[in-house]
A = this chain, B = another copy of it.
Amino acid sequence: MTVETMEPNLTPKDFASDQEVRWCPGCGDYAILKAVYKTLADIAVPKSDVVFVSGIGCASRFPYHVSSYGFHTIHGRAPSVATGIKLANPDLSVWVVTGDGDGLSIGGNHMLHVLRRNVDLQILLFNNETYGLTKGQYSPTSRVGTVSPSTPMGSVDYPVSPVAFALGSGARFAARSVDTMQRHLPVVLKRAHEHRGASFVEIFQNCIVYNDGAFDDFTEKAVVDDTQIHLEHAKPLIFGKEGEERGIRLKPGVIELEVVRLGEGGIGIKDLLVHDETNRSLAVMLAAMAPPDFPMALGVLYCDPAPGYETLVRDQIEEAKARTPNGDLNALLREGYTWTVG
């Protein structure tokens, strides 16, 4: 299907569609859109080979604003539609955009299965810890005690952690970034694109209307140094302002992480854990870190590639064709017993 015409040097703004953007002024989705434009320009896949698929929600209006192919489907089902697209044409670069409600409330099951199957998709989950489009009810990622129209006395159920869920579902790529981190986010998105198989990216996104400041505890300029750790493969887990660096190490004797201050009690870099993107257990532990006790782990928490589902499916079809070449439908209809009259 795919016609390989390299479009020459697309710039970020070439990826803007002609549709007016209809998010609330100040919504974090704008920043993510910008980062995606940049990423698309960087990865230089022809526009006509890119497909954005989404469900329903504020986040899910995303495809309308990218000048590639796009499918704004129904609530929670984007991973399934995207799977069908990849099965039909594995050569397309398919991006799923979803929200914490779309992807983890109604769509949690498809998320599980698309990750487990390892379909080669980039899955961007905009986590604003609320249902934006339906006016601010609490979501499965909302923290306990969230006051919302459906929980006027505060929510009582425990939230799900998107990355922990993805890892438990068998995801082979899990990463995190923040809407406003315009240098960090495109790098993460590029990594997601490069990873064959399902890439899961949680993006913390500020909903200015219904949940403003939800992530201030680790995204406010004043606190980022103390509350974010930027993961890099094979590098020690270190964060904090220059001169006040801290690190993450395994608590001696137990399977538990702890924050240590470099230089204190003779602790040096060598005592810290070294990030290993291919270690799922480590990723699970990093995903569980959260302020105030721990920094929020951003970047690629886990990446351990394996062939994508759509590739394996194609391979099997090719193998079948090689085994039984020349598929003749007339012959098929005549397999087994037949008899002739007249």
Taking Cβ atoms with an 8 Å cutoff, the residues of A that contact B are: 104-109, 112-113, 116-118, 140, 153-154, 156-161, 164-170, 250, 254-256, 273, 276, 279-282, 284-285, 288, 306, 309, 312-313, 315-316, 319-320
A164 touches B168 (CB 8 A): yes
B160 touches A116 (CB 8 A): yes
Residues from chain B with Cβ under 8 Å of A109 in the complex: 106-109, 112
Chain B proximity of A150: nearest CB distance (Å): 13
Residues from chain B with Cβ under 8 Å of A164 in the complex: 168, 170
Identify A170's interface contact among B113, B118, B154, B160, CB under 8 A.
B160
**Given A107-B109, A168-B168, 20 more pairs with CB closer than 8 A:** A104-B112, A108-B112, A109-B112, A112-B165, A116-B140, A116-B159, A117-B158, A153-B319, A156-B315, A158-B306, A160-B169, A164-B170, A165-B169, A166-B168, A168-B284, A254-B279, A255-B273, A255-B285, A281-B285, A281-B288
Residues from chain B with Cβ under 8 Å of A170 in the complex: 158-161, 164
Residues from chain B with Cβ under 8 Å of A279 in the complex: 254-256
Residues from chain B with Cβ under 8 Å of A168 in the complex: 164-169, 284
Residues from chain B with Cβ under 8 Å of A154 in the complex: 316
- In the assembled complex, the Cα of A281 lies from the Cα of B154 at a distance in Å of 29
Q: List 13 A-B contacts (CB under 8 A).
A: A108-B113, A109-B112, A116-B160, A118-B158, A153-B319, A154-B316, A160-B169, A164-B168, A165-B168, A254-B276, A254-B279, A255-B273, A256-B279
Residues from chain B with Cβ under 8 Å of A159 in the complex: 116, 170
Residues from chain B with Cβ under 8 Å of A108 in the complex: 108-109, 112-113
Residues from chain B with Cβ under 8 Å of A167 in the complex: 168
How would you classify the secondary structure of chain A's contact residues: helix, strand, loop or mixed? helix
Residues from chain B with Cβ under 8 Å of A156 in the complex: 309, 312-313, 315-316
B160 touches A140 (CB 8 A): no
- In the assembled complex, the Cα of A312 lies from the Cα of B167 at a distance in Å of 28
Identify A113's interface contact among B140, B273, B280, CB under 8 A.
B140
Kindly report which residue of chain B lies nearest to residue A257, judged by CB atoms: B281
- In the assembled complex, the Cα of A312 lies from the Cα of B309 at a distance in Å of 42
- In the assembled complex, the Cα of A154 lies from the Cα of B316 at a distance in Å of 9
Kindly report which residue of chain B lies nearest to residue A119, judged by CB atoms: B157
Residues from chain B with Cβ under 8 Å of A255 in the complex: 250, 255, 273, 279, 281-282, 285
Chain B proximity of A198: nearest CB distance (Å): 10
Known contacts A108-B108, A255-B282, A256-B279, A116 near B313 by CB under 8 Å: no
Chain B proximity of A255: nearest CB distance (Å): 5
